[in-house]
Every structure is written in C-alpha cells, then in structure tokens.
C-alpha cells in the first residue's frame, strides 16, 4: 500500500486541515476560567456541524462519546469533555480537533493557559510547542521518521521533560489513523524514509515527570502515572519536494519560527 497522496487528495487534505485549525481559532476566546469542558465541546460541535458542515471525527470513533478531546493538567490526551470539569485559574488545557471534510481528515491541537499559570505550566506548554516545531523542521524527502523523533526527544529531555511512549503521531487521509506511526522519540537515520506526497501528524505529548501513562476506568482518559503535568501540540503535515507544508496553520501562529530549526546542508 502506497502512503503517497494524489494531487486531489492533497487538495482535500489542505481544506480539511484549514477547517480543523479554524475550529481552534473559533474556540480560543471561549477558553476561559469558569467554562466547562462540555460547554467547549458543545460550542465546537455546533460550529463544525452547523457552520462548517464538517463531521467531528471523534464523535462515536471507537465509542468516543464527544466531538472534541479536552485534556486538562495531568491528562495526557483523549480527555472526555464533561459538565463536571470547569476550567480554573492556573489550569492548562489541550483541545484536540479532528474534522472530516469531503471524506478527508484534518487533525490539530493546541494548549491554552488559563489565567495565571505556574512557571512550570508555562514552560511545558512552550517546550511542547517547540518540540512540535523542531519535529516539523526535520520533514523533507529523504529524511527518516527517526530524525523527527530524535529532534523532539533531544530537546524535551534537555529541558528535563520526558516524551510519552504509549501514543504517537500517525498517517492520515481518508482514514483517521493510518500508517505510518510517527514516534516522538528515536534515533537519526532510522525508520521509514520520507517521500513527497506523504501526510502524517506530529503530536508530541511531553510530561513534566516520567513518561509513564495510565488509562482511567472510562477507557479513554489518558493521565500521567505520577500525576504531573503533560502538554501536547499537533499539526497535520504534508511532505513536499522542498520540505514540508503545515496543513493545519492557525492565523495566530508564527510558522516562520520553524525555519530556525531546519538543518542546513
């Protein structure tokens, strides 16, 4: 099975990616102290279904009960929006959006800081975004998947954080999660060679303590085993002839920052 997308697929994925990013732009002003994660879900669901005419991919995906994932503080990923979980001053939250548009998936997530956050909370949000950017900077034809993982792991560990091993990035297209698996740790020059036309996500989950995780009895919510903070950012990436294209760019984002990390030669 070829992992290379057709020109038609790429055009569809670019639209889906932009729509997913627009959901994050839409929800951003609502992500404030006092709002419940269920309310964030309701607002995003309405925007996706009634304004964008897209399908929220998480809803009923392998039994997931909501339209977005909301992962607060020590929740690593796959947090289920709940009326019982309201945001409070000092929280950090990842909101993960996946839309299906004309059969194509766009998948992206970002962190939000609620009010006055601790130095550690601010650092882990910043470092995890930089991990994503350092991973993206490795993407070009001829590079290996291990180059991406190595760039992320090296930086995270130099900042005294750890890289979650139990979950990874993934190929994406007409299928939500397809090959290849994109590990956020690894060795340079190992793993699959990248070719122009591949599309996959990079979505490093970075922990303040150890990388070990546990799944709660709801069978979805992934938490850090030591209950320390975790943070994650995600983009859907196309491998181009020259390097990469971020298919899920937000208006508030300075993607030029990625260029600083592109290896020369």
Nearer CB in complex with ligand MF3: 64/261: 64
Q: Would residue 162 be called left, alpha or beta, if left means φ above 0 and alpha means ψ between -120 and 50 degrees?
A: beta
Q: Where do the H-state alpha helices sit in 32-72?
A: 37-46
**Residue 203 binding ligand MF3, by CB under 6 A:** yes
To Co ion, the closest distance from the beta carbon of 79 in angstroms equals 12
26 near ligand MF3 (CB under 6 A): no
Tell me which of 107, 130, 147, 245 binds Co ion, using CB under 5 A: 107
What gap in Å lies between CA 206 and CA 228, rounded to an integer? 11
Q: Which of 41, 130, 234, 245 is in the footprint of ligand MF3 by CB under 6 A?
A: 234
Query: Which residue is associated with the tokens 């130095």?
Result: 119
Q: What is the DSSP string of 110-174?
A: EEEE-SS--HHHHHHHHHHHHHHHHHHTT-STT-BHHHHHHHHHHHHHHTT-EE-SS--EEE-SS
107 lines the binding site for ligand MF3 (CB under 6 A): yes
For 53, the 3-state DSSP assignment is: coil
Q: Which stretch binds ligand MF3 (CB under 6 A): 25-33, 59-67, 151-159, 221-229?
A: 59-67
- Of 5, 14, 74, 78, which one interacts with ligand MF3 (CB under 6 A)? 78
Where do contacts with ligand MF3 occur on this chain (CB under 6 A)?
Answer: 58, 61-62, 64, 69, 78, 96, 98, 107, 201, 203, 234
């Amino acid at each position: 099975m070829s992992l290379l997308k057709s020109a038609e697929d790429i055009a569809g994925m670019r639209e889906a990616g932009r729509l997913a990013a627009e959901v994050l732009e839409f929800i951003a002003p609502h992500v404030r102290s006092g709002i419940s994660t269920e309310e964030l879900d309701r607002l995003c669901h309405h925007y996706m279904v009634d304004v964008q005419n897209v399908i929220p991919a998480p809803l009923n995906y392998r039994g997931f009960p909501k339209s977005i994932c909301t992962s607060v503080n020590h929740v690593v990923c796959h947090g289920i929006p709940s009326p019982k979980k309201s945001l409070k001053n000092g929280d950090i939250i990842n909101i993960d959006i996946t839309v299906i548009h004309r059969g194509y998936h766009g998948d992206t997530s970002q962190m939000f800081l609620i009010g006055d956050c601790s130095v550690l909370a601010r650092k882990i949000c910043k470092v995890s975004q930089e991990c994503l950017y350092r991973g993206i900077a490795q993407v070009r034809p001829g590079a290996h998947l291990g180059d991406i993982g190595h760039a992320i792991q090296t930086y995270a560990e130099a900042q005294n954080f750890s890289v979650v091993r139990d979950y990874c990035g993934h190929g994406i297209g007409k299928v939500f999660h397809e090959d290849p698996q994109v590990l956020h740790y690894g060795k340079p020059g190992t793993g699959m060679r990248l070719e122009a036309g591949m599309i996959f996500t990079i979505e490093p989950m970075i922990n303040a303590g150890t990388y070990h995780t546990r799944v709660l009895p709801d069978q979805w919510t992934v938490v850090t085993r030591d209950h320390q903070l975790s943070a994650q950012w995600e983009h859907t990436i196309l491998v181009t002839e020259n390097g990469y294209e971020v298919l899920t760019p937000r208006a508030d984002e300075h993607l030029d920052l990625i260029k600083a990390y592109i290896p020369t030669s």
